[in-house]
Amino acid sequence: MSIKMSTLRRFIPVALATSMLALAGCATGPYNSGGNGAGYGTSYSGGNGYRNSRSCPSNQCGVVEDVSRVYVSGGNQSHVLGTIIGAVAGAALGNQVGKGDGRKAATVAGAVAGGAVGNEVAKRNSGDVPAYRVVVRLDDGRTATVTQREDPRVRNGDYVQISDGRVYMR
């Protein structure tokens, strides 16, 4: 076993661990999960103890006060794909360099560098996406603001229920 092979054996786990940590940082939950950093979710404010006669069991019902179309960050989903595509392309290019252990090291280095470049390209190309912000005066007097990607198909004055970070007609 040569020095090159032992160095390569130490480098590969470090490169893999670094890549996995970078990809884990890109993971997000589904939108509308109560706030995932992508600008979606539900926020509450106020509350004066007021109780509407049309209350619902979940205490998440109320009257729509405002519906507006907004633009929110597209999230990190495209970053993961960009990282993966970049890593595959970088590994393919790195595999064309050198022979033997040098080729293996170049393949790993190409995958790591390609992943980083692919992630950055995806980050720069991901733009804002349209969503809907719905302000609801809840039965208990609080105000809830829900931002969701799908059109809620509600208007001011509609009685709605908030469930799983989304607005539904009641």
Q: Taking the model in full, what pTM does it have? A: 0.47
Instruction: Assign 3-class secondary structure to the chain.
Output: CCHHHHHHHHHHHHHHHHHHHHHHHHCCCCCCCCCCCCCCEEEEEECCCCCCCCCCCCCCEEEEEEEEEEEEECCCHHHHHHHHHHHHHHHHHHCCCCCCHHHHHHHHHHHHHHHHHHHHHHHHHCCEEEEEEEEEEECCCEEEEEEECCCCCCCCCCEEEEECCEEEEC
pLDDT tens digits, 9-64? 666 666 655 665 555 555 443 333 344 344 456 666 655 544 444 557 667 899 99
The full set of domain ranges for the chain reads: 57-90+125-169
pLDDT tens sequence across 105-125: 888 888 888 888 887 777 666
